[in-house]
Amino acid sequence: MKDLIQKIENRKAIIGIIGLGYAGLPLVVRFGQEQFRILGFDIDPEKVDLLNEGKSYIQSIPGDQLGDLVRSRIFSATTDFTRLAEADSILICVPTPLTEKMEPDLTYIENTARQVAHNMKKGQLVVLESTTYPGTTEEILLPKFRSRGLREGKDFFLAYSPEREDPGNRDFATKSIPKVVGGITRNCQKVATSLYGQIIDEIVSVSSTRAAEMTKLLENIYRSVNIALVNELKILADRMGIDIWEVIQAASTKSFGYSPFYPGPGMGGHCIPIDPFYLSWKAREFDFTTRFIHLSGEINVSMPYYVVSKAIDALNARKKSIRGGRVLILGVAYKRDIDDIRESPALAIMKLLQDKGAKITYNDPYVPKLHPMRRYDFTMSSKPLTEALLRKADLVMIVTDHSQYDYRWIVNNASLIVDTRNATRGIRSARGKIIKA
């Protein structure tokens, strides 16, 4: 243990990062800034080739940062998992999606754990960062590593530390976001804390990997439940003829006991729409039903249907049908000013509109193309946002409120707008009507 900690503190430890996506790449950059050598692992050869050329495929990770790390030979990427033996510390940042039955799909974690176990060497630290249910580190990773005849806390060190990235949020960087760390043993905790202490300003130690796993789920469930609450209130306020955005603004003036959450067309991103169901699934093992999680999930999943119904009503009021109607979607990323479309509500809305016969086009300055995905079969490209495109559309729907959009110009050129983000607040329509949804 002392040898590994000394190696870490002297910046001599090689950091292996498995999964070079939205969670893994920020760690690559941060360790690189502290002059650690990083070996990145991914199963996608095209992604690996791109990274080895010093090019970023994620908008929030500047290519010049990666380029500098590649040119200085601090960072390289590979698909060869036998090279895991070269690393002193291994961080696992692989996806944890849901199955079609809304149950945890741990395929990526299980496959990665087998690869790590097969290529382990004595003295390595392994940290799982992927969001998952409490018990995953102990129940899936630990037995595989023990099967090699190695002992945790002595022959290897195992911990859990959830990723806390917020793509597109410039107020928080990897370095400044406190890092929660839970080890299998006290020695595991010490080694993991030492590693993250080199790159993160504040380390929050918890008593176990289960506590660390639960911490990440609590963070996301808190947001999911409160977003569901305000979404439900939005629908009620709409029926009552009350502007929910005005209400939220007024309530936000209370300086204690209230934190504002904002309604939208549904939830997106990898974490909030998915993570609560991991705990809900695990709770059944303890004969416990997580009613708040189920209810919030139902409400948030239903929001694209509400948005589409508002679009249909808006067109009907103009004596137009959704079937054959030309609908322009503005923004397909799951939130403003990023290129991430994982679980984006825009995709669900577009699918629902297509199923009803609408002719869909979209514009997103951060997402030039849509490709077929697990639940959606889109092969579309972003159309240049022109006056002609806006005027041609029977309905313009603002789904993602990118700051690049000139909303006053959009309002002046569109005949009918459904605004799901309150992006047009304070703007009066010159040609048409704005529907808040």
Q: List active site positions.
A: 271
User: Quick one: which of 401, 400, 353 has its CA closest to 376?
Assistant: 353
Strand partners, 39: 16, 76
Q: How many CB atoms lie within 10 A of CB 301?
A: 16
Strand partners, 381: 369
Cα separation of 156 and 35, whole Å? 24
Cα separation of 7 and 198, whole Å? 12
302 by Cβ neighbours in 10 Å (0-12 / 13-18 / 19+) ranks as: middle
Q: How many CB atoms lie within 10 A of CB 357?
A: 11
**Is the dihedral angle over the CA atoms 207, 210, 211, 212 positive or is it negative?**
positive
Strand order in the sheet with 359-363: 359-363, 326-330, 395-398, 416-419, 433-436
Exposure of 253 in the CB half-sphere (CA atoms within 13 A): 4
Cα separation of 437 and 429, whole Å? 16
Tokens at residue 92, please?
């696992």
Cα separation of 309 and 72, whole Å? 54
Exposure of 283 in the CB half-sphere (CA atoms within 13 A): 14
Cα separation of 89 and 128, whole Å? 11
For the chain, give percent helix, strand, coil, nearest 5: 40, 15, 45
The DSSP annotation for 226-287 comes to: HHHHHHHHHHHHHHHT--HHHHHHHHTT--SS-------S---SSSTTTHHHHHHHHHGGGT
